[in-house]
Amino acid sequence: MGTWNTGIFDDDLAMDIKAEFEEAIEEGLSAKEATAMILEAYEDELEDEDEGPIIYLALAVLQMEKGIIEKSIKNKALYIIESGQGLDRWKEAGKDGYEKRLMVLNELKDKIIE
């Protein structure tokens, strides 16, 4: 999986999650049902220290776009942001990329908390 920038959906995995979520919604599932489907489909990846945070952050954004955010997704996304999980690839990319990713995450945190 590749990452090309610092945005939440600037990642192949996040884009896959978004596509599957949107397809599930189009098929008539609720945001909660679509989330459950994705969590089940990506169960193994959720445990990965790089991929798990990408999945949860993408789901948080997708749920908020639908006007909801489940407490479990909200709490997991906030924990990921506050603990710095999944930031290694941006640290390796250099100071500029790392700082930009932190800004993206802090903006997301503010939106989640609202």
- Please report which confidence band the pLDDT of residue 100 belongs to, taking 50, 70 and 90 as the band edges: very high
Which string of b and e fits 72-85 if b means at least 16 CB within 10 Å?
A: ebbebbbebbeeeb
pLDDT digits 0-9 by tens, 62-99 = 999 999 999 999 999 999 999 999 998 888 878 898 99
pLDDT at 3 > cutoff 80: no
Q: Residue 104: what residue type?
A: V
Alpha-carbon gap, residue 107 to 17, rounded angstroms: 20
* 0.85 surpassed by pTM: yes
pLDDT digits 0-9 by tens, 13-43 = 999 999 999 999 999 999 999 999 999 999 9
Tokens of 97: 């990329």
